[in-house]
Structure 1
Amino acid sequence: MTLFLLFVLIFLLFILRQPAFVVLGVAVGYVYLFYGSGVLVDIAQDMFTALDQDILLAVPLFICAGSLMGQGTIAVRLIDVAKQLTGFVNGGLGVAGILSCALFAAISGSSVVTLLAIGSVLYPALVREGYPRKTALGILSSSGTLGVIVPPSIPLILYGLVTQTSVLDLFLAGVLPALLITAAMVVWVLYKCRNMPRTRWNTSELVLSLRRGTFAILMPVIILGGIYSGIFTATEAAGIAVLYALLVEGLVYRELSFALLRSVVKETVVLMGVVFPILALAVSLNQFLAYENIPQMFAAALMDFTETKATFLALVIVILLITGCVMDMTPAILLLAPLLTPIAMTMGVDPIHFGIIMVVSLEIGYLTPPMGLNLFVASSSFNEDFSTVVKGSFPFVCVMFLTLVLITFIPEISLLLVSGG
């Protein structure tokens, strides 16, 4: 029966190319029918329970805020500030792309939204400045992935939800790893683009861009400052982000229109129509796994092959990297986090640290075929060959893998701020 289920899932996913929630729905129904009580109404009850949580409101609200800024002018003003700060060094425009993505990701929490918002403005600029298309695509595709690790990160919210881990602690734990990945990307771009043109430092232009972008810069300060200081929760922060974006775009920059609002709402609803069914079904499956003690049984079997924590972590990285190649991050987290986190805790790994390892590992999957979400988004959005995007992103995959190793085996990188809090 298990082999038959595996065959059905592979057929649906890779041959018929059905959406992930369809494949997961078949899996959950099959498991309940043949291995559980056989009462399929239990699935509906579990799905309702999964979606009846306040923290889930943060996901569509952060996506909505990111879409508002990306389709408005906040993203453009953030880019202008970054360009003025880095333009005086060789490769400065490439560095501006990375920093802009990091800043924008600190508000939107989404990789795709970050890539589209920053890339649509910066990619033509990079090409005009003489950057090879392969390099420009690699910079934007890779730095766009910062949207899934820079707090407030939607994948971290989902991980916290399914593992009952503090989302605030996960946000704090993601700060230093995000800075490390960003810094590593900047160093690589400075080396790779050391012969690219630069502009003269212009204090008056910098002051002008700062003045124009004051409200855009204040947004991540307000949102992240409020979350980390405990003034408001992650869910409240998401609502404030949407309200702030509406006020700034509508009253300050006067770029808000009915057509823009309609486009933002449509984009948010479409994304949530993908995420929420997967989340609900995954939580239902997780309830069944917990009831049947599957994680404990899997842990016992896995520990026969991994006698040390280091060996376990190395094996987990391999599993997650392979998973990231064939599965989107959302279903991967929702399916694997409840299974692997109890094992990690048994091996002495902090669940918060393990959450960061999982998200960063799966983050690399955004840049690795055949799934490679950012690769496909960049290829279609910028009208470039998929192979060109892959080649441009490969050096950044290597950089990110090295930072992943550091984050995995030096837990203090993730836990320093949490411990300090």
Structure 2
Amino acid sequence: MPRSRMRRSGREWFSSLPACLLLLAVVVFSTSSDIHNQMLRGGEQLWGGYYKLRSDPVEPTCDPNRDLEGAIAEELASGSDLDDDLLDLLGSEPKDPEKVRQSVEQALEDCQNRHERYEEIRDRLTPAVRAYRSVELFVADLIAFGLESQRFILVILVMLCAATATLTRHHIAMRAMQTRLDYTVSHALQSVANFMLLGSSALFRHSTVAAGGDVSPERMLLHNLWVIGFAVLTLASLYRLFRPPVDLEPGGSLNKAFLAVPLYTVMCLISGTYFALIGHASGIGIYLGTMMELADMFLNVALYVWVGMMLKQTCMAALVFNVFRPWRMPPEMLAVVAVLVAAIPTAYTGASGIFVIAAGAVIYSELRAAGARRQLALAATAMSGSLGVVLRPCLLVVVIAYLNREVTTDELFGWGIWVFLLTATLFMVVALSVNRQNRFDFAPVSEALPATLSALKPLVPYALVMASIILFYLWALDVRMDEFSAPRLLPVIMLGILLYEHISARRHARKDSEALTHQGLEHSIRGATNDTTSEIGALLLLLGLSVSIGGVIERSHLMGLFPQAFESAWSAMLLMVVLLVILGMIMDAFGAVILVSATVAGIAYASGIDPIHFWMVTLVAFEFGYLSPPVALNHLLTRQVVGEAEIAAAQAEPGTFYQRHERIIMPLITMAIALVLVAFVPLLFYAV
């Protein structure tokens, strides 16, 4: 192997590689439970009653050959040492010989049965059973270790990736840092926020120790990891503050500089200031600690980000666009197709923002290559992750069902299909009727159909790889592809696809060593993980601070200003829509769901709103919020993946007000109409 291929940057050694190992560990730990279940079933099939053979039997201490008559006589004699006067004083009666006989006979029989079971189990513990058992128990221990280590893996992953996002200037903000003033203001406030997080975590640790009682080593280790992590994060932001890059533009505007401050920093400053003013400075640390209660959910988010980044490394998105390119669709129609097709991978990547990060750049570039104007391509890119959040197996819906016993995933996904069809239809109508600038001049079927069928052929191997892995899990591990298994199956599927592309590249480029270098499996995984570390750091830190903002809203009793129940479901729904859209504007989806479950949901139920209806409205309202200024998270992520140059070029394009702001207005029209219909039309059928 050439020496150049072995070179790794410091970031790859100290950030990407550990993050990759941690993510792989999560997949291994979660898959080991499936393997263990199958091993238990296999052991039961091979050796009936295998559960009895999982541990060495303990030989009973009783004597199975004890003389019955002698034991009875001994038992009867045990109470004969007391004289009659003492027996009368204690109120005891002489032992009944018949009852003593029955008791001794039963005890002797039980003793003999225990010895028989002991002999039976000992005889069945053959070398084959012992070998099988050792492997099965090792897997069981691995599962137990994995469950216990989830919280530690999450803390290390968050801190590692957050520091990486800080050093690479990859945190999510309203605008990118362009000038020296942008850089100074952003990193100065990041340093303040990170020091605030450090202080809050340290105070939380101190209060836990000062409270007395037994603090488990595991809990103390978690406290220490948070403190160490935020100390590293503070040092990373200070390092960046005093080591600015040389390519920054001089000068800058203070108003624009504040827009370059990451959203997590703003949330931290708000929540930290609030908690300090009410004399509860450890508040942020406490609410960040609540992330540990849902460690598996946040780790699944990280896995979905990794899946998205691996998808970005493959050729799948470009190959899918090749299927539609022969029809010569107008750009507006192709934008509709792109958003509809993106709904399925969105559902499998957990949330809209994750998919925009993963595939937004490909969607934008393909639409631009097909002749779409920049504003239309940006609108479709931002919308690409919005329609699929109601489809199976979206992680957000699973979290809703987990936190709310009033609904199930089957019910939510069942109605989610109808919501998807509604929003898809509305987007198609808006895209094809408002500001359409191209005629419908499709290619003839005789010309387009053969080309489409030919374009489908390269996708067949991908389908076979996916089907093979899914069937293997189904037949070998009895695991079906659903919303619960998707987080651990999808990374394996994407690794299989990358392996296929690697083998295919080697077969077609054996004579081109440079091509082999850039298309290798290790290179793709490394590139995906490099992107993943920054994205996980930006997303999970934002999510954690969203939980903290939720804590501010909860502790400030803002919801107490509203009635706990409305007489009219219509009035309640109107308030719910406004609140949910605002939450979608300012909070991450998972943090917002946690807050809504604890506060708003109860008011909705008490006001006569059906729980399933309420959560469908919540999902649509959140997506509307993610597309709405002033924050518009999906647009911020779009800006992050397509680059500031394209955004600036789109804003410089001439045209009407709608044409100059189409990337914002088109998604808002679509989701606003969908929100009104989803929120109020069902009330006509069940509201009194």
Distance 2:366 2:288 in 1: 51
CA deviations over 1:273-304 (Å, ceiling 9, x no partner): 345456567668979999x996985563x54x
- Give the letter aligned to residue 526 of structure 2: R
**Alpha-carbon distance in structure 2 between the residues aligned to 1:45 and 1:327:** 15
2:624 match: 364
For the residues of structure 2 that align with 1:332 and 1:402, how far apart are their CA atoms?
22
Secondary structure (helix, strand or coil) at the match of 1:179 reads helix
Residue 311, structure 1, aligned to residue 571, structure 2: yes
Q: Which residue of 2 aligns with 1:339?
A: 599
Aligned with residue 182 of structure 1, among 424, 435, 452: 424
1:132 positional shift: 2.8
Q: In 1, Cα distance between the equivalents of 2:556 and 2:415?
A: 29
Query: How far does residue 394 in structure 1 lie from its aligned partner after superposition?
Result: 0.5
Contact 2:350 2:394 in 1 (8 A): yes
Distance in structure 2 (CA, Å) of the matches to 1:120 and 1:222:
28
* Residue 294 (structure 2) aligns with: 51
Which of these residues, 139, 142, 146, is aligned with residue 383 of structure 2?
142
Aligned to 1:355: 615
- Structure 2 letter corresponding to 1:111: S
Match of 2:669 among 393, 398, 409: 398
CA-CA distance at 1:29 after TM superposition: 9.3
Change (3 A) 1:34 1:136: closer
CA distance in 1, matches of 2:467, 2:634: 23
Identify the range of structure 1 (101-110 vs 380-389) with the bigger mean alpha-carbon deviation. Answer: 380-389
Counterpart code for 1:265: T
Look up the equivalent residue of 2:680 and give its one-letter code: F
1:178-228 Cα deviation digits (max 9, x unpaired): 2221222123333335525533332222222222223556759998xx9xx
The match for 1:198 among 442, 445, 458 is 442
The match for 1:249 among 498, 507, 512 is 498
Q: Which has the larger radius of gyration?
A: 2
Distance 2:622 2:284 in 1: 32
Is residue 115–residue 144 contact of structure 1 (8 Å, CA) maintained in 2? yes
Distance 1:180 1:204, change over 3 A: same
**TM-score with structure 1 setting the length:** 0.75
Letter in 2 for 1:393: I
State the alpha-carbon separation in 2 of the partners of residues 243 and 119 from structure 1: 22
How far 1:97 moved relative to its partner? 1.8
Shift of 1:402: 0.9
Q: 1:247, CA displacement in angstroms?
A: 0.6
The amino acid of 1:384's aligned partner reads: I
What is the match of residue 153 of structure 1?
Answer: 394
Deviations 1:151-201 (A, max 9, x none): 433433444444455445433432221222122212333333552553333
State the one-letter code of the partner of 1:214: V
Deviation at 1:230, TM superposition (A): 8.7
Counterpart position of 1:6: none
Shift of residue 397 of structure 1? Answer: 1.2
CA RMSD of aligned residues (A): 4.3
Cα deviation 1:87-137 (Å, max 9, x = unaligned): 467844233322332233233233344335544334344334443322232
| Matches of 1:96 and 1:221, distance apart in 2 | 28
Q: Does 1:212 align with 2:458?
A: yes
Structure 1 residue identity aligned to 2:601: T
- The secondary structure found in structure 2 opposite 1:145 is coil
| d(CA) in 2 for partners of 1:288, 1:376 | 24
5+ residue gaps, structure 1:
1-10, 413-421
How far off its partner does 1:312 sit?
A: 1.2
Q: Quick one: distance in 1 between partners of 2:680 and 2:342?
A: 26
For 2:360 and 2:287, the matched residues in 1 are separated by 40
Q: Which amino acid aligns with 2:429?
A: V
Partner of residue 111, structure 1 = 352
- Read off the aligned partner of 1:67 and give its amino acid letter: M
The answer to whether the 8 A contact 1:50-1:279 is kept is: no
Q: How many residues align?
A: 392
CA distance in 1, matches of 2:619, 2:303: 21
More moved, 204-213 vs 88-97: 88-97
In the aligned structure 1, how far is the partner of 2:627 from the partner of 2:552?
33
Check whether the contact 2:550–2:592 (CA below 8 A) recurs between aligned residues. no
Task: Label 1:134 to 1:319 Cα distance change in 2 as closer, same or farther (>3 A).
Answer: same
Over 3 Å counting, the alpha-carbon distance change for 1:259 and 1:116 in structure 2 is: same
Query: d(CA) in 1 for partners of 2:304 and 2:637?
Result: 20
* Pair 1:67–1:261, CA change in 2 (3 A): same
Q: Which runs of 5+ in 2 are unaligned?
A: 1-191, 194-257, 506-518, 654-659, 684-688
Identity %: 23
> Of 53, 57, 73, which aligns to 2:315?
73
Residue of structure 2 equivalent to 1:265:
529
Q: Which amino acid aligns with 2:449?
A: T
